């Protein structure tokens, strides 16, 4: 069978590979604990499930959700209220918001909407594994922009050669950052807007962890003056409301880009099941306290894990956002060989930093989306079974 050449460059999706590894080990009877994937084990709020059940019983919602091709206006109005309340951002629900099947879908459709074949697209390295395939699929080339510990894992925009910036049509980035857990500063976002304006670059600011911060301000790219002139922010109900399986999110900001994404979507996927959009309204309007409770849960897990890592000899600056910990691999290990050691000795699965880009080498990512007893068991195994670790 002929398979399109564009797929040749695309490696198997990292988390599918990890899931297969976990399933294979479980099939052998090994009690594997996964700290690899950012997929909350905790339940979606009851009232959201109830809203879905009620809406699913209404035959009106069994039809194509295409009456409003940008997503239900009522859902987009709820998004606007949420952005106003949580981030002080004013959005026009009619022109500046389109509903998405999760922000991952937005990453892909942003490229189809904004990027031409042959374009250069800036992308952070390390970076979320979904970005590069979206860029390749439209026939463009990703240009990696390094994120390093010494700069708080923020890209140094002045390092991007001006001939590259002039060629670039778009830039993908996300803070609070997956995989590093770093958060952006307002000053950096202002610099990003100025950079995008100077080089006419469309920003795809992917912000699904906007709510998961520890001791710092929740920040939307759209709260920075001029942001709406240069880009969109993708966001999602996946992480704040434990709704990864529901597939619902939004792209907001520049009306031309939002409209272009809506045009791509109306020719591609026909939108989100209306009952899920009604449930999404419930989450956005009534679940701020739930999100804050979950951030508290992550804070507790994070402190437990940081204490255990400290006991094992790790010294590093704890990130201020997301439910990930991005930790240096011990001396003598690559990111992959340390993940192998954890799997073999402790039956703990982690994500190798190198899978996020060349600048991810030397790091391992742990996710805190496991129940407390499983996290404690993973930490106990690491403390008891790992050999003495050394660090630079």
Q: Which stretch binds ligand PLP (CB under 6 A): 25-33, 96-104, 163-171, 339-347?
A: 96-104
| 102 touches ligand PLP by CB under 6 A | yes
The one among 134, 244, 274, 277 contacting ligand PLP by CB under 6 A? 244
Asked if 113 and 107 touch (Cβ cutoff 8 Å), the reply is no
Burial class (CB in 10 A: 0-12, 13-18, 19+), 308: middle
Between 102 and 155, whose beta carbon lies closer to ligand PLP?
102
What ranges make up the beta strands (E) of the chain? 33-34, 97-100, 120-125, 141-146, 168-173, 202-206, 231-236, 249-253, 324-328, 348-349, 351-352, 363-367
Query: Could you write out the three-class secondary structure of 326-368?
Result: EEECCCCCCHHHHHHHHHHHHCEECEEHHHHCHHHCCEEEEEC
Size of the site for ligand PLP (CB under 6 A): 14
Question: Which residues, in sequence order, are CB contacts of 171 under 8 Å at separation 6+?
Answer: 121, 122, 123, 145, 192, 196, 201, 202, 203, 204
| 236 touches ligand PLP by CB under 6 A | yes
Restricted to residues 138-197, the positions that interact with ligand PLP (CB under 6 A) are: 174, 178
Separation of CA 342 from chain center: 24
Output phi, psi for 80, to 5 deg: -60, -40
Q: In angstroms, what is the minimal distance from the CB of 389 to ligand PLP?
A: 28
Q: In angstroms, what is the minimal distance from the CB of 104 to ligand PLP?
A: 3
Between 109 and 382, whose beta carbon lies closer to ligand PLP?
109
Strands 351-352 and 363-367: antiparallel
Q: In angstroms, what is the minimal distance from the CB of 354 to ligand PLP?
A: 17
Q: In angstroms, what is the minimal distance from the CB of 122 to ligand PLP?
A: 15
Contact string 322-361 vs ligand PLP (x = CB under 6 A): ----------------------------------------
The one among 249, 253, 321, 353 contacting ligand PLP by CB under 6 A? 249
Between 34 and 238, whose beta carbon lies closer to ligand PLP?
238
**Which position has the token pair 């001006």?**
162
Q: Across the chain, which distance is largest between two alpha carbons, in Å?
A: 62
| 206 touches ligand PLP by CB under 6 A | yes
Q: In angstroms, what is the minimal distance from the CB of 177 to ligand PLP?
A: 8
Residues that bind ligand PLP in the complex, under the rule CB under 6 A: 38, 102-104, 128, 130, 174, 178, 206, 208, 236, 238, 244, 249
């Amino acid at each position: 069978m002929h398979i399109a050449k564009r797929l040749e460059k695309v490696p198997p999706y990292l988390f599918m590979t990890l899931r297969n590894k976990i399933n294979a080990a479980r099939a052998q009877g090994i009690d594997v604990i996964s700290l690899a994937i950012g997929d909350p084990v905790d339940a979606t709020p009851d009232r959201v499930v109830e809203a879905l059940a009620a809406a699913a019983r209404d035959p009106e919602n069994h039809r194509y959700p295409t009456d409003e091709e940008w997503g239900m206006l009522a859902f987009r109005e709820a998004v606007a209220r949420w952005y106003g309340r949580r981030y002080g951002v004013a959005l026009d629900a009619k022109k500046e918001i389109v509903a998405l099947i999760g922000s991952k879908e937005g990453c892909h459709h942003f490229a189809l909407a904004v990027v031409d074949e042959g374009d250069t697209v800036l992308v952070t390295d390390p970076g979320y594994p979904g970005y590069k395939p979206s860029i390749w699929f439209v026939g463009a080339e990703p240009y990696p922009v390094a994120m390093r510990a010494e700069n708080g894992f923020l890209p140094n925009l002045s390092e991007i050669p001006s001939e590259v910036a002039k060629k670039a049509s778009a830039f993908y980035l996300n803070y609070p950052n997956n995989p590093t857990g770093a958060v952006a500063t307002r000053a950096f976002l202002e610099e990003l807007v100025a950079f995008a304006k100077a080089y006419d670059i469309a920003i795809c600011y992917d912000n699904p962890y906007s709510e998961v911060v520890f001791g710092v301000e929740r920040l939307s790219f759209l709260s920075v003056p001029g942001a709406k002139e240069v880009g969109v922010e993708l966001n999602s109900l996946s992480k704040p409301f434990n709704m990864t399986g529901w597939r619902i999110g939004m792209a907001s900001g520049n009306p031309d880009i939002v409209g272009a994404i809506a045009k791509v979507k109306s020719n591609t996927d026909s939108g989100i099941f209306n009952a899920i959009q009604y449930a999404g309204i419930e989450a956005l309007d009534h679940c701020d306290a739930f999100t804050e409770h979950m951030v508290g849960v992550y804070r507790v897990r994070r402190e437990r894990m940081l204490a255990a890592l400290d006991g094992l000899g790790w010294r590093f600056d704890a990130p201020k956002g997301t439910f990930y910990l991005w930790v240096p691999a011990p001396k003598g290990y690559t990111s992959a060989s340390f993940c192998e050691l954890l799997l073999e000795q402790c039956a703990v699965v982690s994500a190798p930093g190198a899978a996020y880009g060349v600048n991810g080498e030397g790091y391992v990512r742990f996710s805190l989306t496991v129940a407390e007893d499983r996290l404690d068991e993973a930490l106990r195994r690491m403390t008891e079974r790992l050999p003495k670790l050394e660090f630079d």
